[in-house]
Chains A and B, each alone.
Chain A
């Protein structure tokens, strides 16, 4: 069965304490892997798309990497405003482009 699993479910960090979030996936034929950030009461906000193993993308304090079966979202020196739920999703060749399979997310809290 095609699925996406994120860990941990929740993560509490002190401001400045770097860490990584994990997303593992089992799909046949990865079209693309996406990272999103979601704040309470809002829709997910697009962060990155990764296509192939070895690919990396960065944006401010965030860096996303992709291997054959998992992706990591590294957060360097996080700030309280980075607190949100981070979602991973995949688009795969067995489905249409817009059929994304989402993980349950990692709820990140950054304390000052």
Chain B
């Protein structure tokens, strides 16, 4: 069965630009969460969507936003990129807690 698909896999952007990352969850999964992973901070929660509604948001500035579509696909957007936004951005989807959250391979964002 298809897993969680994230596109693109790699991205290089310049400071001040904006970027949109995409996530297609496993078919049937309505809960989608986004995380930022850096060597210093580890995995940090960005936001969670369920049936097109944002259920929770982590402690990140307003430059980070997201949305979920009716087919459960999700996007996250980062505006006015800063060097510190360079990270691996991971998307995860879930059916129930018993099966955990299945992660995609991530999008590696480099801001120069």
A residues lining the B interface (CB < 8 Å): 31-32, 34, 36, 41-49, 51, 87, 89, 91, 95-105
- Residues of chain A within 8 A of B102, CB atoms compared: 46
- Residues of chain B within 8 A of A49, CB atoms compared: 97-100
Contact A43 B106 (CB under 8 A): yes
- Residues of chain A within 8 A of B4, CB atoms compared: 43
**Which of B14-22, B50-58, B78-86 is the contact stretch?**
B50-58
Distance in angstroms from A57 CB to nearest chain B CB is 11
Instruction: Tell which of B42, B45, B100 touches A34, judged by Cβ atoms closer than 8 Å.
Output: B100
Instruction: Tell which of B45, B50, B106 touches A100, judged by Cβ atoms closer than 8 Å.
Output: B45
- Residues of chain B within 8 A of A99, CB atoms compared: 33, 45, 48, 55-56, 58
Q: A43-B90, A103-B42, A104-B42 are in contact. Are A98 and B101 (CB under 8 A)?
A: yes
Distance in angstroms from A71 CB to nearest chain B CB is 14
Distance in angstroms from A111 CB to nearest chain B CB is 23
Of all chain A residues, the one with the shortest Cβ separation from B4 is A43
B66 contacts the other chain (Cβ, under 8 Å)?
A: no
Complex interface bits, B71-112 against A, C-beta within 8 A gives 1, otherwise 0: 000000000000000000010101001111111111000000
Contact A45 B103 (CB under 8 A): yes
Of all chain B residues, the one with the shortest Cβ separation from A31 is B97
Of all chain A residues, the one with the shortest Cβ separation from B45 is A99
Can you identify 17 A-B contacts, CB atoms within 8 angstroms?
Answer: A41-B105, A42-B105, A42-B106, A43-B105, A44-B43, A44-B90, A44-B103, A45-B103, A49-B98, A87-B43, A97-B94, A98-B31, A98-B48, A98-B101, A100-B35, A100-B43, A102-B35
16 further contact pairs, Cβ within 8 A, besides A44-B103, A96-B55, A97-B55? A36-B100, A42-B105, A43-B92, A46-B99, A48-B100, A97-B94, A98-B33, A98-B48, A98-B55, A98-B56, A99-B45, A99-B55, A99-B58, A100-B33, A102-B43, A103-B42
